[in-house]
A and B are shown apart, each in its own frame.
Chain A
Amino acid sequence: MAHAVHRVSPLALVGLLPLVFLGLFFAWPVASIVGLGLTSTSRPGSAVLDVLTDSETLRLVGFTLGQAAAATVIAVLAGMPLAFVLARCKLPGIGLLRVAVVVPFVLPTVVVGLAFRVLMPAGGVAPIVLANAFFNIAVVARTVGGLWAHTDRRGEEAARALGASRWRAFVSVVLPAIAPAILSAAAVAFLFCATSFGVVLMLGGGQYRTLETEIYLRTVELFDLPGAAALSMLQVTTVVAVLIIGAVTRRRKETALGMRRHREIARRPVGGEWVVVGVASAVVVALTVPVVSLVARSLSNGFAGYVALAGHGDQATLQVSGLDAVWNSVRAASDATVLAMLLGVLSAVVLSQLSRSGALIGEVFDLALMLPLGVSAVTLGFGYLVALGSLPLDLRASPLLVPFAQALVITPLVVRTVLPVLRAVDERLRQAAGTLGAGRLRVWREIDLGLAGRALVAAAGFGYVVALGEFGATSFLARPDAPTLPVVIATLIARPGELNNDMAYAACVVLMLVTVAAVAAIEGFRASSVGEF
């Protein structure tokens, strides 16, 4: 298409809207908090240096990266058999498996943290690593499975015919083909593990801290803003590095997908493949253990917790009833989803246009949109409080604050879900519509939107679920009289008393049920698309 008729599309102007939002509600708050940290001491910069050269910081970074690496390795090892089964096997109940695998990823971090607390009451590093891995197995299984399903089976058949064993064929033919997806999934999983907040806070307490929880503790409990700002900058740098690696591998993956558009047909496993199926089944069972134990724990005193949750608890533990909290969650998540869809779809359209013209600016924009995924939600939440006070219209007390922050967290997910579909649209389909009399906007509506329809529904549902469980930024920004369910759970579990615990576990189960129902609903739409998360 070197010289095809491409004027700069008016749609490109639309890209300004997400950029402005990103600037106002992401870059500015984050910059403010960093700026505040740097300028709040008499000798600007020195406090930052002190923090960065502190041996405590080194240990903190070491633990953050170490636990993330360990969790990523476990997630990849456990996710690969699942990816194989999802991509290549024709077995009864595979549709159910597809749903079951996604559930852990969208479960609220608070819920997972509590589940592992029930499961491993002794605490320590192990539950943190396992809980982080628990989340990201889905990332690996879905991302790798997506590419694997589209990898030509004949390559490995040729290797087998040339005398390679099943294992040898996998290592020398299949593995190189799906390596970009594995790397990309590992990069994303690593990012999630390294910046995970709720899980580490719930399971590590004050004892095991990562950068993310340390930023939170220094900000909220120690009021050490320079330290928090220094750690935030450190974290942003790490995140950008990981994102760049992810972007590079993702590019390779999309090229790989171009080679074969059609899904390979799933077959009944044969011979040694049953071993893999067995391992995958064991992983699935392991995934259900924390969930089951959580449900069991919530029912250990009958329905007392659930009954109390419907009201305000005994001695009015909660400012609002559990039902009101559910309503708050649902409303905030709905607003956030609408906003994120608007921003995400506009961004995806602009990105797909830019990538067709091969501009570097597209890559940069892409990266900028992924940033909120990795920047500490705590930093973001606190940045809101600092920065937005200087706007003429004080948004800090606005009920829109929580949806805004949640929208920033889920917009990257929307972009990642919609963008691959838009990029995969054959340019000639648009041209065919053009010759049939459709103008530019009409082509976009009929072809791009038409083809991305399922992905849009999936993105909305997916974003909604993640917004429901969002904890990091929300815990900062939710007003005391309007907490969301995850905030209520955290409040309850921090209080002593059997009934408070019962209520927390009951709230977890309620949140989980809402989440699972939403996932099951979107899964029907998603079945045919190549998921990136």
Chain B
Amino acid sequence: MALVLRKLSVHYGSEAAVSDVDLSVADGEVVALLGPSGCGKSTLLRAVAGLERPASGAVCWDDTDLAGVSVHRRGFGLVFQDGQLFPHRTVEANVAFGLRMNGTARASRSRRVDQLLRLVGLAGYQKRSVTELSGGEQQRVALARALAPRPRLLLLDEPLSALDRTMREQLAVDLAALLRETGTTALVVTHDHDEAFTLADRVAVMRTGRVHQVGPPDEVWRRPADDQVAGFLGCTTFVPATVDSGMASSALGDVAIADAVDGEVLLGLRANALRLDPNGSVTGEVVQRLHRRDHARLLVRIDGQPALVEAISPVAGAPGPGDWIRLALDPNGVALVGPRGDRLSTGT
């Protein structure tokens, strides 16, 4: 393992921002720290960079404790949310900064800058002033700057959050490709699960300073470790169910669940879990209808359910408030909450 965090805790005064975190990042792997704002993920990243001093625990690289190694000797690249480009320098000088620090010769410096600007899609931007770049371009330069000295680990702190939506989605795809292409080992902090799932090989979900779950994106998505992780990943309704030979039966209908052990489980339902279906087993009354780009979203009152549930229907012929409808569960919107193979332990 390249990066290993052992029982890492970071305190702000008396408050614990990060508590007892164990996490590892393998060589060439991209791990995302995913969590709501204030969960301690940025603090964790800063501790890895050497910008915060851990209260206890260790940050290790290839089995060497980095405790006494200061920021500029760790060889880790860092990209901030808003780039933090040096405003008094050109694009070229920004990208070349790390190379100057490690004493790279002028000629190879300039070659490396050209190479990186091509890589981030900004060939020919060398002489531009960084203050006249758009947000997306600035973030690309920040990335090139961090990658230029070939860091052994790249740390990205909400790298795409400051951008508008279209730019964010585009850059997320580009960034994922770039990290794979360069074989970069990286730790990404984000509060956006789309971003985390696009970029990462493994996702670590954080809450209140602790890591609640670590796993590949699809596993975290389909099998959140507890109802809090599930809630953060978009599950709005929780319903107990009984699994019998791969089929889960609940008060909101039956649904096929792959590789689940028979017995009591908890299902987490996302917005697209319930669909309008004339053959559905559940009936309810539509309270409100909202139109989305490609579907209608319904808020439905179902007898025996404490809160309104969400359901979706095609836009054409969507039922309105007061209509009684039938609903069925869609396996794509249903997550199995709780550790793998665990029986139901948490209530709703």
Which residues of A come within 8 Å of B, CB atoms? 2-5, 426, 428-429, 431-439, 442-443, 446-447, 450-451, 453
Distance to closest chain B CB from A335 (angstroms): 30
Distance to closest chain A CB from B118 (angstroms): 20
- Interchain CA distance A436-B76 in the complex, whole Å: 8
Contact check, B51 vs A450: say whether CB atoms are below 8 A apart: no
Contact check, A434 vs B84: say whether CB atoms are below 8 A apart: no
- Interchain CA distance A447-B52 in the complex, whole Å: 20
Contact check, A433 vs B97: say whether CB atoms are below 8 A apart: yes
Contact check, B52 vs A432: say whether CB atoms are below 8 A apart: no
Contact check, A436 vs B50: say whether CB atoms are below 8 A apart: no
Contact check, B89 vs A450: say whether CB atoms are below 8 A apart: yes
Which chain A residues border B211 with CB–CB below 8 Å? none
- Which chain B residue has the least Cβ–Cβ distance from A451? B88
Which chain B residues border A2 with CB–CB below 8 Å? 12-13
Which residues of B come within 8 Å of A, CB atoms? 10-13, 46, 49-53, 70-78, 80, 84, 86-89, 97-98, 101-102, 145-146, 149, 151, 155
Which chain A residues border B76 with CB–CB below 8 Å? 435
Which chain A residues border B78 with CB–CB below 8 Å? 431-432, 435
B102 partner, pick from A426, A428, A437, beta carbons under 8 A? A437
Given contact pairs A2-B13, A3-B10, A446-B97, enumerate 8 new A-B contacts (beta carbons under 8 Å). Answer: A3-B53, A431-B51, A432-B86, A435-B49, A435-B71, A435-B78, A438-B72, A442-B101
Summarize A's interface: helix, strand, loop or mixed.
Answer: helix
Contact check, B101 vs A438: say whether CB atoms are below 8 A apart: yes
- Interchain CA distance A233-B13 in the complex, whole Å: 44
Contact check, A437 vs B84: say whether CB atoms are below 8 A apart: no
Contact check, B97 vs A436: say whether CB atoms are below 8 A apart: yes
A432 partner, pick from B12, B73, B84, beta carbons under 8 A? B84
Distance to closest chain A CB from B329 (angstroms): 47
Which chain A residues border B77 with CB–CB below 8 Å? 435-436
- Which chain B residue has the least Cβ–Cβ distance from A449? B88
Instruction: Name the residue among A4, A432, A439, A447 with the largest chain B CB count within 10 angstroms.
Output: A432
Contact check, B88 vs A453: say whether CB atoms are below 8 A apart: yes
Contact check, A5 vs B52: say whether CB atoms are below 8 A apart: yes
- Interchain CA distance A435-B11 in the complex, whole Å: 22
- Which chain A residue has the least Cβ–Cβ distance from B103? A437
Which chain A residues border B102 with CB–CB below 8 Å? 437
Which chain A residues border B86 with CB–CB below 8 Å? 429, 432-433, 446-447, 450
Contact check, B88 vs A439: say whether CB atoms are below 8 A apart: no
Which chain A residues border B12 with CB–CB below 8 Å? 2-3
Given the interface pairs A3-B12, A429-B84, A450-B88, the reply to whether A437 lies near B101 with Cβ below 8 Å is yes
Distance to closest chain B CB from A11 (angstroms): 16
Contact check, B72 vs A435: say whether CB atoms are below 8 A apart: yes
B72 partner, pick from A4, A428, A429, A434, beta carbons under 8 A? A434
Distance to closest chain A CB from B25 (angstroms): 17
Contact check, A3 vs B71: say whether CB atoms are below 8 A apart: no
- Interchain CA distance A353-B50 in the complex, whole Å: 19
Contact check, A431 vs B71: say whether CB atoms are below 8 A apart: yes
- Which chain B residue has the least Cβ–Cβ distance from A429? B84
Distance to closest chain B CB from A357 (angstroms): 14
- Which chain B residue has the least Cβ–Cβ distance from A437? B101
- Which chain B residue has the least Cβ–Cβ distance from A432? B84
Which chain B residues border A439 with CB–CB below 8 Å? 70, 72
Contact check, B13 vs A436: say whether CB atoms are below 8 A apart: no
Which chain A residues border B46 with CB–CB below 8 Å? 4
- Interchain CA distance A4-B84 in the complex, whole Å: 18
Distance to closest chain A CB from B47 (angstroms): 10
Show 6 residue pairs from A and B whose CB-CB distance is below 8 angstroms, ordered by the A residue.
A5-B51, A428-B80, A429-B86, A437-B102, A437-B149, A451-B87
- Interchain CA distance A5-B98 in the complex, whole Å: 21
Distance to closest chain A CB from B280 (angstroms): 51
